[in-house]
Structure 1
Amino acid sequence: MTDAALLVRLLADTAGGDQRAFRELYQATSSHLFGVLVRILERRDWAEEALQDCYLRVWQKADQYAAEKGAPLTWMQTIARYRALDLLRMKRPEVSIPDEDEAPPMTFADGDALNPEVRATEQEGIGRLSNCLDELAPEPRKSVLLAYYEGYTHPELAVVMKAPLGTVKSWVRRGLSQLRECLDA
């Protein structure tokens, strides 16, 4: 059984109230969703809160998942993303939410814990990475950002970017290769 087929089955069983299936669903997907939430919220405590809310919503709305409309992990990521954005608006109303095509801000998750020397070195690395990302063509850049910032899988990228799976894989591979070359220069 493929991962997606397993998740579809677990969601269906969860919709029927099966707590064991829900636990398996959580174990199979929580680390991925937590990574997405941490990247969006930039705070571990907020990400933990959002993850709990996300799974509560999955438990309540599992019967609304429709396999023909998308992959189960994509559906769950959407729930997590909306919860994260709601939490950002609620806890930091002065923060504007970036547009879909904007690059994510590259900041420290726990910047206060770093000493000034380490922070300066890290900031220089982040600046170099940002400059290297700017040198990428639009498709590889967006593919890399969605894969590593938003946690999209290759099949999900193919859907979002409306491109064949092989093309998306090439964009990610090429983008990462060009980033590596740029950072090594």
Structure 2
Amino acid sequence: MSYVDEPAARARALAASGPRRLLGIAGPPGAGKSTLAEALVDALDGAAVLVPMDGFHLADRELARLGRADRKGAPDTFDTYGYAALLARLRSPHPDETVYAPCFERELEEPVAGALPVPPDVPLVITEGNYLLLDEPPWSTAVRPLLDEVWWVDVDDGVRVERLIARHVAFGKSPDRARSWVLRSDEANARRVASGRKRADVIVDVPG
């Protein structure tokens, strides 16, 4: 039995429970949020679509202008209100209107607009990101109220850190630079979101 089977059954029930539902997948960097979200979309076989929070990263040149480039990935390096506006639009689909959401291209390290189509007849939208359970506005006030459920992805911290380092290396950082970035930036964000676990509707344990 896969660890995805039970979450998939719950997601399927949520999709069948009435008007369109929005499901959030939260957790620290490297926990496996996108892997779980993609597995749920596959398991629901057309009844769900994935719209990641990462599409609302501010562009590198804006981060540089704001003096936040060295903290990319922190809560104030996202267009949080833009993300909330998209979620609000997705909650109330209009017939014959496809909504186009942005994605985040890791090869470019930049968001790309209009990359993810969300047809009006899809009953479940899954979104994933570090800050969906962050108890700070605007995340707690503008984003969380728009989500029907938010699940927390749990994984061993040692496994998670090594995954993050490998990911940064795969996308161009040297091993030393990748480890430094993870231990300084990603782990600071992990500590910041840790308290969100207790506010989750469901805890999903991910194998190491």
TM-score (structure 2 length as normaliser): 0.26
**Structure with higher strand content:** 2
Structure showing greater radius of gyration is 1
Structure of greater relative contact order (alpha carbons < 8 Å, 6+ residues apart): 2
Which of the two has greater helix per residue? 1
